[in-house]
Structure 1
Amino acid sequence: MKRSSPLRPSLRRRLLVFLLIPMAVLLLLDALLSYGVALTYANRVHDRDLGGDALTLAKMLGKDPHGGRLTPQARFLLEYDPVGRSYFSVSSSRHGLLAGDGRLARLVAASVPDATPTLYNTRLDGHTLRAADVRVTTADDPGDSLTVVVAETLRDRHEQAREILLLAVVMQTFLIACVLSLVWFGVSRGLRVLEPLTARLASRSDELAPIDGPDVPQEIQPLTRTIDALFGRLRGMLALHDRFIADAAHQLRTPLAGLSLHVDRALADPRPETLSDAFDHIQRLTRRAARTSSQLLALTRAQAAPADTGDYRLLDLARLIPEAVSQRVYEAIRAGVDLGYEGRQEPLYILGDAAGLQDLLDNLIDNAVRYAGRGSDITVRLQARDGGGATLSVEDNGPGVPTELLPRLSERFFRVGGSQEQGSGLGLAIVRRIAGRHHAEVVFRNGQERGLRVDVHFPPPPAALTSTA
C-alpha cells in the first residue's frame, strides 16, 4: 500500500486558521451579547406595553358605572395571547375579586392609588410571569378602589430576542465569510512579492552571492539574512577547499617529483651504492611529503573551526602545559636539544580547547627544534599576565630571525632564507590560527642575546567560570 505523503505546511492555511479561530470565538461572544441586548430590548418594549395595558384598563374600569364588571368579550380579549398566555385580575377593596384570576390578585402588594404601574416577576402554574399592577379610585364610590393586575409569560419576549439574534448571526456570518475571502485574496496577492526572490534563486547555478535586496519584504529579511550567512560560510568552506587543493598540489609537487626521479635512478642503476643513495633520498622525501600533508590538514582544520565554539571549557595551563612538554622530552633528546619548562605551580585558567592547545604547543616546539639546531636549548615558559590571562612562551638560542622578517613568520609557506632544514612553512601559520580561535595574540621577537622567542598572550576567562572552578 502506498503511504500518503504528509501534508506540507502552508502560509495561507496557517494565516486562515489563525484568523478563523479568533473570528469564531468572537462570533460566539457576539451572539451571546446580541441575544442579551435583544432580550433587554424586548423586555423594555413589553414592559412598556404591559404597564400601559394595566393603566388603560384600570382607568377604564374606574370610570365604569358598573363597578368594574367586565363583559365576556372584554374578558376574551384580555386572556387571548396567540404565542403564550396572559393573566389578569380586577379586585375591589370593598367587594373583593371582580374578574380574572384570584390567585394573581393575592400576589399583589399594597400599592398607592392613582400611581404609575408597578412591574415585577412572579410565578403561576409553573410559569414565570411578568406582571404590572395599578390601583385607582372608582368614580361612583370615592371610598372604594380597584386594583388591576395584568401578567404575561416570557415566551413572546424570548421569541423576539431569538429572531433578532438569528438575523444578527446570519449577517455577521456573511460578513466574516467576506472578510476571510478578502484575507485569502490579500494573502495570495501579498505572497506574490516573493516571486522575484524565487525567480532570482531559480536562475542561479552555483552562485553563492547574497540574496537579500531592496525587493525583499522586511518580514522575511531574517530568513534571507540567515541564508546569506549560510552562503557566506559555504563560500568560506569552498575557498578553504580550493586553497587546500592548491596548497597540496604546490607543496607535494617537489617531493613527488623527487620520488619519481630517485625511483627511476634506482631502476636504471642497480648497483648497491646507487640503490642505497636513492633509498636514502626516497625516505627523506617520503617523510617530507608526510609532514607536509599532516601540516596542511592541521592548518585546514584550524581554519575551518569557528572562532567561538560551545566546546571550549575552563583549562588549567599550569597542569596542561607541563604534561604536553614532558611528552616531547625524548624526541628532543634524540634531536640533541635540551628542552625545559619554567612555570608557576598555582592554577592558571583560560577558556579553550585542549586538543587545539596541544597542536599549538607541538608546532612551536617543532619549529624551535627544527631551526635552532642540535646542541641548542629550548625553554617553554608559562606566566600570569597583569590584569588576568596567561602568556605561553617558547624560546630557543638558535640563530634567530632577522628583525625585518619577524612579521612574516606566520605567513603560509614562508621560510627564512639560508635555513638548511626542509620545513613546510606552515607550523607558525597553524599557531596563529589556533591562537586566533582562542582570542589570543601571537608575538614574535628575538631573544636577548640570540634565538627566537614566540609569546602567546591568552585573555582571562569569564569571571563566572573561574568562581566555580
Structure 2
Amino acid sequence: MLEPDGRQSLRRRLLAFLLVPLMAMLFIESLITYTGALVYSNSVHDRDLAGSAETVAQMMQKEGLDGPISEQARFLLQYDPEGHNNINYFSIVSQRHGLLAGSDKLTPPSGLGLSINGEPKLFDIMLDRRRLRAAGMIIDSIHEEGDQLTITVAETLRDRRQRAKEILLLSIPAQALLIAAVFVLVWFGVRIGLRQLDPLTARLARREHDLAPIGDADVPVEILPLTRTIDGLFARLRGMLALQERFIADAAHQLRTPLAGLRVHVERAQSDPTPETVKDALQHILRLTQRATRTSGQLLALTRAQSPDHDDGAHALIDLARLVPDLLTLRVHEALAAGVDLGYEGPPQPVWIDGDRTTLQELLDNLIDNSLRYAGRRSEVTVGVSSDAKGAMLSVEDNGPGVPAAFLARLGERFFRVPGSNEEGTGLGLAIVQRIAERHHARVRYVAGSEGGLRVEILFPPARTTKKDGDA
C-alpha cells in the first residue's frame, strides 16, 4: 500500500493483509451458517412431514374412506399453516382398489422397505419436474380385512430454503459487526505496536557521526534482523573510515620526508644555479621522486589489501605450479640487473589453491622485491612451491645477510625496517604480503634460511572450489 507521496506504508500493508482474510472468514462463516440452518430446517420439516403422514393414518383408521375424500379434508392435507406458499401433496393407495385419493404419481419407491403399521419413512421424489420431500407408511384397512393402505405425504423444498435464508440474514449483521470490531481492534493494535519503534527512532535521530552499534536494548524482536544488518553496515563503514584515516596518516608520515627533501634541493638549486649544483640537486630530486612514487604505490596496495570490500567469493582454483613460473619470467631481467640469481623449485604436477590471480601476483612481487633489495649482489633467491595433505606452500628464500632472530616476529608490521639496514624502503612490502595472505586464509611464517638468509613461507589451506583458473 502506498502513502499519498508514493511511499509504501507498513501499517496499510498489514491492515490490508488482515482485511482480506477477515472478509474471507465472513464469506466462509456465511456458508457454514447457511448449511447449518438448512440442515436444521430440513430436520424440523422432516419431523412435521412424518407427523402429517401419521395424522392421515390416524384419520383413516378412525373414519375410513368409503368414497372420494371431502374438500375439507383435502384442504387440510394441502394447507400450509406457516403461510410460506409451500405446496403439499398426498396420496392414499389401497392394495386392492388402487388410488383412493390424491396424486397417482406420488408413490414410494419399491426398495424403501416400508413396514406395516410402522414408523413413517422419508424419501426424495421428483414430481412434475419438482423435487419433493416425502414421508410414506403402510397401515391395515379397518373396512376390509386383508387390505392395506399406503399413505404418502410430500412437500416442496421452498419453505426449507426460505427458513435457512432467514437464519442467514439474521446472522450476517452480527458476524459483520464482530469482524468490524476485530478489524478496529487490529488497527489500534498495529498503530500502538508501531509506536514501539519511536524510542529507537528518537535514539538514532540524536546521532550525528556516531557509527556505534544500535544494540538490542529497546529493539523489538521482529526488527532485530534489520537492526543487526544496520549494525553490520555500521561496522563496515567504521572499517572503511578507519582505513581512510590510516591511509591519510600513513601517506603524511611516509611522504613528509621525500617532500621535505625535494624542497631542500629545489631551494639549493635556486640559491646556487651553477651547473654542478643544479645537476646534483636534480639527481637527488629524481631519487626522492622515485621514493615518493614507490611509497604512494605501496600505500595504495596496502589499502587495497586491507579493504573490507574484498570479495572472497571471487576466488578461483589456481595452479601455483603454473602461475609462479609464469610470474617469475617477468622478473628475470630485473634480477639480472640487480646481480641476483633468481630460480624456481616446484613439482611437475599441479598445486591447487583457492585464490585471486591479481593479488597473488602482488604478493609474489613484494616478496621478490624484498629479496632483491636486501639480499645484495651475487646472492641467490629461490622461489619454491610444494604441497601436502595440509595444503600448499609458497616460499621465497635468499642467502643474503638475513634478519636477526629477535626481529623475525616483527616482520610484516607496517613501516617496520630492520635496524642497521642501509637499503631504502617503505617498510610496507611484507605488510602487504601479510594482508594478502590473510585474504586467502593463509599463514605467513618468517624463518632463517638454510644458508643464513631469510625464508618467507606462505601456507595455504586445501583448495575448496571446483572452478579452475582460466575456465569459462
Q: What is the identity, as a one-letter code, of the residue corresponding to 1:89?
A: S
CA distance in structure 2 between the partners assigned to 1:16 and 1:5 by the alignment: 17
The 1:65–1:221 alpha-carbon spacing in structure 2 relative to 1, beyond 3 Å, is closer
Cα distance change, pair 333–6 in 1 and its aligned pair in 2 (3 A): farther
- Structural mapping, 1:113-262, within 5 Å: 113-262=116-265
The answer (yes or no) to whether the contact 1:92–1:146 under 8 Å persists in 2 is: yes
Structure 1, 113-122 or 195-204: larger mean CA deviation: 113-122
The aligned counterpart of 1:434 is 436
Gaps of 5+ in 2: none
**Distance of aligned partners of 1:111 and 1:239 in 2 relative to their CA distance in 1, 3 Å threshold:** closer
**Secondary structure in 1 aligned to 2:63?**
coil
Distance 1:328 1:65, change over 3 A: closer
In the other structure, the counterpart of 2:9 is 10
Q: Following TM superposition, by how much is the alpha carbon of 1:463 offset from its aligned partner in structure 2, in angstroms?
A: 7.6
Q: Provide the rounded CA distance (Å) in 2 between the counterparts of 1:436 and 1:110.
A: 92
The amino acid that maps onto 2:151 is V
CA–CA distance in structure 1, aligned partners of residues 129 and 162 of structure 2: 19
Q: Secondary structure at the match of 1:379?
A: strand
Q: Matches of residues 351-390 of structure 1 in structure 2 within 5 Å?
A: 351-384=354-387, 386-390=388-392
After superposition, the Cα gap between the structure-2 partners of 1:271 and 1:110, relative to the gap in structure 1 and judged at 3 Å, is: closer
Q: Runs (4+) of structure 1 moved beyond 6 Å?
A: 106-110
Aligned to 1:446: 448
The structural deviation recorded for 1:218 is 1.4
- Percent identity (aligned): 58
How far off its partner does 1:68 sit? 7.0
Q: Which residue of 2 aligns with 1:60?
A: 59
Shift of 1:122: 1.1
1:50 match: 49
The one-character-per-residue Cα deviations of 1:355-379 (angstroms, maximum 9, x if unpaired) are 1110011001111111122222211
Q: CA deviation at 1:30?
A: 2.9
Task: Identify the match of residue 100 of structure 2 among 98, 101, 107.
Answer: 98
Q: Is 1:85 the equivalent of 2:87?
A: yes
Q: Match of 1:72, as an amino acid?
A: E
Quick one: distance in 1 between partners of 2:94 and 2:252?
A: 125
Whole-angstrom CA distance in 2 between matches of 1:113 and 1:419 = 127
Q: Distance in 1 between matches of 2:136 and 2:10?
A: 64
Q: Please report how far the alpha carbon of residue 67 of structure 1 lies from its aligned counterpart in structure 2 after TM superposition.
A: 3.6
Q: Give the counterpart of 1:280 among 255, 279, 283.
A: 283
Is contact 1:68–1:90 with CA below 8 Å preserved after alignment? Answer: no
Contact 2:37 2:167 in 1 (8 A): yes
CA distance, structure 2, for counterparts of residue 370 and residue 66 of structure 1: 135
For the residue of structure 2 that corresponds to 1:211, the secondary structure is coil
Worse-matched range after superposition: 74-83 or 422-431 = 74-83
CA distance in 1, matches of 2:238, 2:327: 36
CA drift of 1:338 comes to 1.7
CA contact (8 A) 2:332 2:342 kept: yes
* 2:397 corresponds to 1:398: no
Q: Is the 8 A contact 1:59 1:136 kept in 2?
A: no
Question: How many residues of Structure 1 are paired with residues of Structure 2 in the alignment?
Answer: 464
Partner of 2:415: 413
What does the per-residue CA deviation read over 1:106-139, in whole Å, with 9 as the maximum and x for residues that have no partner? Answer: 8787844322112111111221111112232344
> Structure 1 residues 68, 371: closer, same or farther in 2, change over 3 A?
farther
Q: CA RMSD in A?
A: 2.3
- Partners of 1:332 and 1:66 in 2: how far apart? 135
1:166-220 Cα offsets, whole Å, 9 max, x none, are 2233322222222222111111111111111111111111100011222111111
Change (3 A) 1:148 1:444: same
**Inter-partner Cα distance in structure 2 for 1:230 and 1:68:** 102
Name the CA distance, whole Å, in 2 between partners of 1:380 and 1:143: 124
Moved more, 285-294 or 102-111: 102-111
Quote how far apart the aligned CAs of 1:301 are. 0.2
TM-score (norm 1): 0.93
Q: 1:405 to 1:107 in 2, by over 3 A?
A: closer
Whole-angstrom CA distance in 1 between matches of 2:422 and 2:67 = 140
Q: Deviation at 1:428?
A: 0.4
User: Structure 1's 78 and 443: CA in aligned 2 closer, same or farther, altered over 3 A?
Assistant: same
Cα separation, 1, equivalents of 2:107 and 2:374:
125
Q: Distance in 2 between matches of 1:74 and 1:145?
A: 20
Q: Which amino acid aligns with 2:440?
A: H
Kept in 2: contact 1:318–1:346 (CA 8 A): yes
- Cα distance in 2 between the residues matched to 1:111 and 1:450: 118
1:35 and 2:34 equivalent?
A: yes
- Aligned residues of 2:239 and 2:308 also touching (Cα < 8 A): no
Q: Report how far residue 413 of structure 1 moved.
A: 0.5
Distance 1:61 1:251 in 2: 125
Q: 1:258 to 1:211 in 2, by over 3 A?
A: same
Deviations 1:1-24 (A, max 9, x none): xxx988433322332333333333
The alpha carbon displacement at 1:95 in A equals 4.3
Once the two structures are TM-superposed, the CA of residue 286 in structure 1 deviates from its matched residue by: 0.2
**5 Å matches for 1:19-34?**
19-34=18-33
* Letter aligned with residue 437 of structure 1: R
The SS at the match of 2:215 is coil
Give CA-to-partner distance per residue, 1:275-327, whole Å, 9 cap, x none: 01100100000000000000000000000055761110000000100111110
| Contact kept? 2:213, 2:234, Cα under 8 Å | yes
CA distance in 2, matches of 1:371, 1:106: 117
Compared CA separation, residues 68 and 261, structure 1 to 2 (3 A):
farther
